[in-house]
Amino acid sequence: MTDDKWGDIRQDLLKTVGQNNFKTWIEPVAFANLQDGVATFHVPTNFIGNYVSQNYGDLIMHQFNQAGENVQRMQFKVAAQKAQRAAAAPKAATRSKSNTAKAESAVQSEAEMTGAPLDPRFTFDSFVVGKPNELANAAARRVAEGGPVTFNPLFLYGGVGLGKTHLMHAIAWELQAHRPDLNVLYLSAEQFMYRFVQALRDRKMMDFKELFRSVDVLMVDDVQFIAGKDSTQEEFFHTFNALVDQNKQIIISADRAPGEIKDLEDRIKSRLQCGLVVDLHPTDYELRLGILQNKVETYRQQYPELQLADGVLEFLAHRISTNVRVLEGALTRLFAFASLVGREITMELTQDCLSDVLRASERKVSVEEIQRKVADHYNIRLSDMIGPKRVRTFARPRQVAMYLCKQLTSRSLPEIGRRFGGRDHTTVMHGVRRIEELRNSDGQIAEDLEMLRRALEA
Ligand SMILES: Nc1ncnc2c1ncn2[C@@H]1O[C@H](COP(=O)(O)OP(=O)(O)OP(=O)(O)O)[C@@H](O)[C@H]1O
């Protein structure tokens, strides 16, 4: 593999990802070597490495293989030389001017404060608010005003990829922009532990204590990480108390509520519960669709030539309900793929390109669950839905249930038929088609389907 070849691949990448993305993400990446199918790249920060791997990994691998190089895996290692640091400061492709200023000033102050880098894309502007996260968003915005401390700490929790880090970075950006006088420190609990261990090892505990006790706003992400790590917990407890005593704002995130974090000392749990504890609920269909629409707006600037067929976003919001990270990754991949092959993003292309993601995030709703919900909804007995009677009162709900089984499970038509009292697959097919027609012509059926889908999704 020659440098020239990497140069050619970069040129192709430039065409595919667009100038802005290229400058931000690909330019800082340096190809190091290719050995036994593993391509190694040097990146200035882990953040860039992770981002490129997640968002452009497939694309880069594809380009390598197109160029005749057999790459099965890629690894991104942080380059040792400091000189690349400036080039690596992440700059969002579609950020407004004021955001650019925000991002740069924060990247600078990050260096001064030795906190973790803030992702320039994680702002309040880019955070889509819906029912599942409105309270968390409101609390975060309140804290971001930087006014008198009213609840301490703000404790945000929720499952993987639901926006905890996004909200924390958004608070930090906002504070940097409007309260530059405040010393804001954002870091993960893992980094807190690392710093602590390093300070112990280098006998610099005084410096450590001074640094953490001199901040105005301390943000610790993924605090569950320190559970079971006794001396780190102890130090965290003292830091926490010292800051609360000085009326400094603390913001904490975790994957679960304080009381449910195993191996976390009781005194810390109770401290964490003292302020405002808010959770980010799993996303619902509307929120997912909103997030996708928002993302598409940014992609349109990057890929102006791309056509997106109706129904694709709805399909993705419907099918990928695991977490927002997976949803975003799917969209990125879809746009990159469509741009690479120069085709419109149709339902067919979506299913081809994302077959693995769609399979993995298949909703785990069962045929029995659907039958039960539909029977309840139409007020009929389960035995009548499955049984042989063909009167409309039973036949229509049966068809609705068959339709939902086809939509929400991976069962084949013959399998569905078997679960409906041993019916033939053609009966199921007929039922599914009938409901598809009615969905467009009969408002009541459309409404029933929507209600049932939501109930099954919840
Ligand atoms: N409401 C939202 N609006 C826009 N983007 C969102 C929203 N919620 C999550 N995201 C995006 O989803 C991705 C994952 O979010 P984030 O990293 O904040 O999750 P997290 O809750 O911190 O997850 P983890 O538990 O893995 O740390 C990010 O790219 C983030 O921008």
Q: Are 323 and 161 in contact (CB under 8 A)?
A: yes
Give pLDDT, residue 450: 86
Q: Which residues are annotated as a binding site?
A: 161, 163-165
Alpha carbons 298 and 77: distance in angstroms, whole number: 29
**324 CA to middle of ligand 1, Å?**
6
Whose CA is closest to 283, among 161, 443, 413, 144?
A: 161
Cβ–Cβ under 8 Å, residues 148 and 245: no
Instruction: Give the per-residue pLDDT at 89.
Output: 31
**CA of 163 relative to ligand 1 center, distance in Å:** 3
Q: What does the pLDDT read at residue 108?
A: 33
Q: What is the CATH number of domain 285-360?
A: 1.10.8.60
Ligand 1 centroid distance, CA of 364 (Å): 22
How many C-beta neighbours within 10 Å does residue 139 have?
Answer: 21
Range 97-280 classified under CATH 3.40.50.460: no
367-457: CATH class: mainly alpha
The confidence score (pLDDT) of residue 88 equals 31
Q: For residue range 337-356, list pLDDT tens digits in order.
A: 898 888 999 999 999 999 88
Give the pLDDT confidence score for residue 37 in this predicted structure: 85
- Cβ distance 390 to 430 under 8 Å? no
**Which residues line the pocket of ligand 1, CB cutoff 6 A?**
122, 126-128, 133, 158, 160-166, 222, 255, 291, 324-325, 328
From 341, 322, 330, 336, select the one nearest 292 (Cα to Cα): 330
The pLDDT of residue 242: 93
Ligand 1 atom nearest residue 166's Cα:
18
- Give pLDDT < 50 ranges for the chain: 81-113
Q: Residue 81 has what pLDDT?
A: 44
Report yes or no: 367 and 416 within 8 Å, Cβ to Cβ.
Answer: yes
State which of 124, 141, 160, 165 you would mutate to test the pocket of ligand 1, scoring each by most atoms of that ligand within 8 A of its C-beta: 165
Q: Cα(280) to centroid of ligand 1, in Å?
A: 10
- Which fold would CATH assign to domain 3-88? GMP Synthetase; Chain A, domain 3 (3.30.300)
Q: Give the residue extent of every domain in the chain.
A: 3-88, 97-280, 285-360, 367-457
